[in-house]
């Protein structure tokens, strides 16, 4: 089958040192989740679903898994609260929707999709986004939906050290607190359409009101049928300064690279310009999959051109 008739799908669950993944059981827990999500996405696309439907479905499943830093597993800010960011983008027409600093929403990526399809806007934040969620009839979940003992302990450690922490921090903090990750999904469907979604609780002990790269089009998320779909994970400030998702797309558009070369070139630029910490998953318009990162590891998996699923750190 030619690549024009096949689908490709990639997901990630965060980047960092992942030093806590010292045993097979922990590794299996992550990889099993990634594999389950990929197979769900495969079903969506084999049943005729679009790339957009596949990335939303995959992102929601990852948001619902407490091992990842998004949705119910989100990290806590300086006030011990969650503030969630998410975005989704449709490569057919560059339509995009994003939310930032929302709470009490189980699946922020779903709200981002509603911003894209049901509002005139690209991004809504905080109280305005919550009012829009009410307007759309989205259920609010109670605060304790988000508080896991691990999250509370992780915030305590970050406060003790007077620092913010990446979800899977490359720091000396050594415990279960490093086992969570920002999530993302990118897809190309059999029609050749691309889509991307990213969702996160951000970084541990972040200032109230801090927004990262995940909901910023061109930084943490991007999709353009002419080039590629990208989802990023890592220190948001680094991605925002280097506008990395759009930069990777531009390497394809302006320098004629394929997605594999563009992803590598983007990560080289990210490292060289801002000493960036994190990684990206990329699917190009031919269905090629690429995952590159500057951290020790990135939890990710892919199905390339309808083939078997692969998962790795
Ligand atoms: N990359 C997620 C964040 O920095 O918020």
Per-residue pLDDT reduced to its tens digit, 75-109:
999 899 999 999 999 999 999 999 999 999 999 99
Query: Does residue 282 sit within a domain?
Result: yes
Domain count along the chain = 1
Query: Does residue 289 sit within a domain?
Result: yes
CA-to-CA dists, residue 262 to 16, 65, 229, 247, 250, angstroms: 22, 31, 11, 9, 8
What's the 6 CA to ligand 1 centre distance in angstroms? 31
Query: Does residue 142 sit within a domain?
Result: no
Query: Does residue 81 sit within a domain?
Result: no
User: ∠ CA(289), CA(293), CA(296), 5° rounding?
Assistant: 130
Per-residue pLDDT reduced to its tens digit, 137-150:
999 999 889 877 77
Residue 64: Cβ-neighbour burial (10 angstroms; 0-12, 13-18, 19+): middle
State the chain's mean pLDDT as an integer: 91
Q: What CATH number is attached to the domain comprising 162?
A: 3.60.20.30
- Residue among 99, 204, 236, 241 to mutate when testing ligand 1 (max atoms within 8 A of CB): 236
User: Residue 233's pLDDT band (boundaries 50, 70, 90)?
Assistant: very high
Instruction: Please tell me the least confidently modeled range out of 18-32, 154-168, 242-256.
Output: 154-168
State both tokens at 298: 């990135």
Phi, then psi, of 83 in degrees rounded to 5: -135, 115
Quote the pLDDT of residue 173.
40
For residue 283, give the H/E element and its range. strand 278-284
* Percent of the chain surpassing pLDDT 70: 91
SS3 state of residue 290: strand
Query: Does residue 266 sit within a domain?
Result: yes
Q: How far apart are CA 220 and CA 85, in angstroms?
A: 10
Q: How far apart are CA 97 and CA 123, in angstroms?
A: 6
* 292 bridge partner residues: 280
User: Residue 179's pLDDT band (boundaries 50, 70, 90)?
Assistant: very low
* 189 bridge partner residues: none
Index of the ligand 1 atom closest to the CA of residue 166? 4
Quote the pLDDT of residue 62.
97
Quote the pLDDT of residue 172.
44
Index of the ligand 1 atom closest to the CA of residue 220? 1
Q: What is the pTM of this model?
A: 0.92
Q: Tell me: pLDDT of 20 over 60.
A: yes
Which residue's CA is the closest to the ligand 1 atom numbered 4?
236
CA-to-CA dists, residue 160 to 113, 125, 156, 304, angstroms: 37, 30, 6, 44
Burial state string for 201-220 with b = 16 or more CB within 10 A and e = fewer than 16: bbbbbbeeebbbbbbbbbbb
Q: Tell me: pLDDT of 18 over 60.
A: yes
The stretch 104-133 carries a mean pLDDT of 98
Query: Does residue 242 sit within a domain?
Result: yes
What's the 203 CA to ligand 1 centre distance in angstroms? 6
What's the 17 CA to ligand 1 centre distance in angstroms? 15
Query: Does residue 107 sit within a domain?
Result: no
Residue 290 structural domain: 8-76+87-93+147-312
Query: Does residue 130 sit within a domain?
Result: no
- Residue among 69, 125, 239, 294 to mutate when testing ligand 1 (max atoms within 8 A of CB): 239
The DSSP code sequence of 176-217 is GGG----EEEEEE-TTS-EEEEEEE--SBTPPTT---STTSB
CB hemisphere CA count around 127 (13 angstroms) = 0
Ligand 1 binding pocket (C-beta < 6 A) is 182, 200, 202-203, 212-214, 220, 233-236
Q: How far apart are CA 165 and CA 157, in angstroms?
A: 10
What's the 233 CA to ligand 1 centre distance in angstroms? 6
Is residue 182 among the annotated active site residues?
yes
Choosing from 6, 182, 247, 294, the catalytic residue is: 182
């Amino acid at each position: 089958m030619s690549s024009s008739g096949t689908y490709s799908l990639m997901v990630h669950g965060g980047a960092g040192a992942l030093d806590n993944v010292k045993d097979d059981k922990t590794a299996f827990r992550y990889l099993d989740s990634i594999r389950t999500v990929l197979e769900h996405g495969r079903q969506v696309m084999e049943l005729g679903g679009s790339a957009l439907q596949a990335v939303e479905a995959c992102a929601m499943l990852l948001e619902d898994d407490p091992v990842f830093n998004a949705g119910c597993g989100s990290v806590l800010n300086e006030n011990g609260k969650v503030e969630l960011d998410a975005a989704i983008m449709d490569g057919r027409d560059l339509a995009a929707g994003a939310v930032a600093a929302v709470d009490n929403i189980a699946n922020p990526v779903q709200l981002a999709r509603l911003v894209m399809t049901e509002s005139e806007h690209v991004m809504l934040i905080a109280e305005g986004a919550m009012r829009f969620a009410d307007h759309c009839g989205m259920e609010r979940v109670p605060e304790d939906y988000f508080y896991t003992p691990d999250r509370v302990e992780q915030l305590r450690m970050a406060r003790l050290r007077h620092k913010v922490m990446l979800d899977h921090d490359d720091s000396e903090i050594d415990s279960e607190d490093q086992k969570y990750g920002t999530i993302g999904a990118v897809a190309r469907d059999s029609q050749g359409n691309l889509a991307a979604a990213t969702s996160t609780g951000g970084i541990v002990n972040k200032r109230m009101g801090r927004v990262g790269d995940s909901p910023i089009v061109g930084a943490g998320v991007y999709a353009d049928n002419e080039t590629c779909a990208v989802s990023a994970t890592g220190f948001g400030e680094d991605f925002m300064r280097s506008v990395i998702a759009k930069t990777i797309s531009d390497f394809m558009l302006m320098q004629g690279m394929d997605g594999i070369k563009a992803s590598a070139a983007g990560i080289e630029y990210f490292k060289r310009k801002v000493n960036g910490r994190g990684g990206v998953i990329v699917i190009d318009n031919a269905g090629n999959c690429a995952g590159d990162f500057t951290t020790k590891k990135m939890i990710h998996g892919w199905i390339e051109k309808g083939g078997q699923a692969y998962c790795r750190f």
